[in-house]
Amino acid sequence: MAYQALYRRLRPQRFEDVVGQEHIVRTLKNQIEQGRINHAYLFCGTRGTGKTTTAKIFARAINCISDHGAKPCNKCEVCQSILKDANVNVVEIDAASNNGVENVRTIIDEVKYPPTDCKYKVYIIDEVHMLSASAFNALLKTLEEPPEYAVFILATTDPQKMPVTVLSRCQRFDFHRISKEDMTSVLKEYIVNEGADVTDEAVDYIAEVSDGAMRDALSILDQCISFYFDRQVTDKEVREVVGAVDTSVFFELINAVNDGNCGACMDIIDRIVQQGRDISQFVNDVITHLRNLLLAISIGKESRALDYSKTYIDKLKAQGSAVGYDYLISLINSFSQLSSAIKYSFNPRILLEVCVIKACNPVNDYDTGSIDKRLKEIENKLENGIPAPKMTDKKPKEEKPKEAAPAVIEKAVPEDIKNVINTWKKFVKSLDKGILRSILANVKPSYIDEGFLTIVCVNNGPRINVENHLSEIKELLKSFFGREFAVKTMTEEQYNIRHTEKYGARDENIKVLTKDDYTKVFGDIVTFE
């Protein structure tokens, strides 16, 4: 006999074997036992969750001639003929290729005749949302008032595409994605039965990339066992098969992005391309890693949203804290847009490189995130007692504006920048408590390029915050110091490189700006207030 794929050979034959759908199995079994079998069912859910499998088990259970209650015996003539797809009373139709009115008319003509050796005539229509509008209309009357021996089971992955008139005539059952715990448990049982050698880490990764679909998991497992039949299958081998990379690469990439190190990022991308990895899969894995980082710093240890070892979660928390909440959200948005764009690109590598370069060099962008922050600032001011302007029906009297001589604000010179550096703490303390005060309290002013006040940030996270409020910071500096400053931003790493280029090598252990740094620029000892 020809080899059968695992997902076909291991398809559940009893209700008890259906994984992760206990709420549906119990309802169907109760209906069979109590004789409350409905005439039309709608099975909804993502791929590989057991819709068609449950429909076939249900068809055998209601037609089984043995006295097994709600369970099909799978041994009687009726069960055996249905298992072999040889029973004319159980008809499975693929609506993707039989979606016209003439196909539905065939069903309408056939359903008039009662079953021969079964209790019920069952029609399983798979991917029913693919039926045309006219086909749905033709099916409506039969679906609403079928003969007492007819049962329709409609299966679909897109119930939202179906007419409401059809949905209202069916009992709807939503199939859940199979949890990682259930999937790993079943996979390990299958592996023992197959006599394969697969590590627990490999099984966990198969369950993770399957995205809740048991059929996908079995297909990947089948491929891994076939490819590595003569040795143990580890998570490394599974990644080879699905075209993914080791998780350490994601930590390495995000560290390089956070440090603004474009060269290291390009080296990582070149390495994964040379290894023949799928770029689309790589981008999706990066998004998953960023999601894990965000959750690691946002939720408690008791949450099941991060189903990883304690050591791995601690590693996620460390990197997530270094990157920062706002920057993680920005990166997730950027890579999500990249994931959509890659589907239509002939050269996805270029899109990935552009996305990473933009992430390494964030610019001030008027996105919805910055607008939301400004709205929150206004709300905070109102909550703290600053009244909103009163609205009146009367129009205020128009007064002629008094002509005042425009104030002349001189541009800052190096001595002015030195003054900012000396009195930075006093300047920050003068600000109202809020986002800007919090942002500026965690950065350092510097003079590194002539004519510019350089704000040095720990990494790209705080730098994005400064860039988003750059115009406001300039206005505050102008108001406090009476000078107009040209401002630029840098990360600590960029500052160290620039400092070395201009003033020579400095102590590698120095992580923050010191008085000596400024002395090299201004020639005298700088006093910090």
The confidence score (pLDDT) of residue 40 equals 92
Percent of the chain with pLDDT over 70: 83
At residue 286 the predicted structure's pLDDT band, cuts being 50, 70 and 90, is very high
Does the pLDDT value for residue 418 go beyond 50? yes
Given a contact cutoff of 8 angstroms between Cβ atoms, the answer to whether 446 and 496 are in contact is no
Token pair listed for 323: 């990157």
DSSP for 336-374? HHHHHHHTT-S-HHHHHHHHHHHHHS------HHHHHHH
- 66-111 confidence digits (pLDDT tens): 877 788 888 888 899 998 888 889 999 999 888 889 989 999 999 9
Does the pLDDT value for residue 463 go beyond 50? yes
Backbone angles phi, psi at 153, to 5 degrees: -120, 110
CATH number of 410-522: 3.30.300.180
Given a contact cutoff of 8 angstroms between Cβ atoms, the answer to whether 6 and 162 are in contact is no
Report the topology of domain 180-242.
Helicase, Ruva Protein; domain 3 (1.10.8)
Q: How far is CA 156 from the centre of its chain?
A: 23
- 125-176 confidence digits (pLDDT tens): 999 999 999 999 999 988 888 899 999 999 999 888 889 999 998 999 999 8
More confident residue, 289 or 312: 289
Does the pLDDT value for residue 3 go beyond 80? no
At residue 400 the predicted structure's pLDDT band, cuts being 50, 70 and 90, is low
Average pLDDT score over the chain? 82
Burial (CB count <10 Å: 0-12, 13-18, 19+), residue 511: exposed
Tokens 């069979």 belong to 32
The confidence score (pLDDT) of residue 267 equals 94
Q: Per mean pLDDT, which of 19-33, 201-215, 306-320, 367-381 is the most reliable?
A: 19-33
- Residue range(s) in the chain whose domain bears CATH number 1.10.8.60: 180-242
DSSP percent split of the chain into helix, strand, coil, nearest 5: 55, 10, 35
- 426-462 confidence digits (pLDDT tens): 888 888 767 788 888 888 898 888 788 899 998 888 8
The confidence score (pLDDT) of residue 390 equals 47
Q: Which alpha helices (H) appear in 64-199, and where do they start and end?
A: 77-83, 101-110, 133-144, 164-167, 180-194
The confidence score (pLDDT) of residue 122 equals 93
The confidence score (pLDDT) of residue 394 equals 44
- Residue range(s) in the chain whose domain bears CATH number 3.40.50.300: 6-174
- Which class does domain 6-174 fall in? alpha beta
Nearest Cα to Cα of residue 91 among 141, 35, 145, 150: 150
- Residue range(s) in the chain whose domain bears CATH number 3.30.300.180: 410-522
At residue 296 the predicted structure's pLDDT band, cuts being 50, 70 and 90, is confident
Mean pLDDT of 491-513: 71
- Residue range(s) in the chain whose domain bears CATH number 1.20.272.10: 247-360
More confident residue, 73 or 412: 73
The confidence score (pLDDT) of residue 75 equals 87
Mean pLDDT of 215-229: 85
Given a contact cutoff of 8 angstroms between Cβ atoms, the answer to whether 150 and 111 are in contact is yes
Mean pLDDT of 61-66: 89
CATH number of 247-360: 1.20.272.10
DSSP state of 159: G
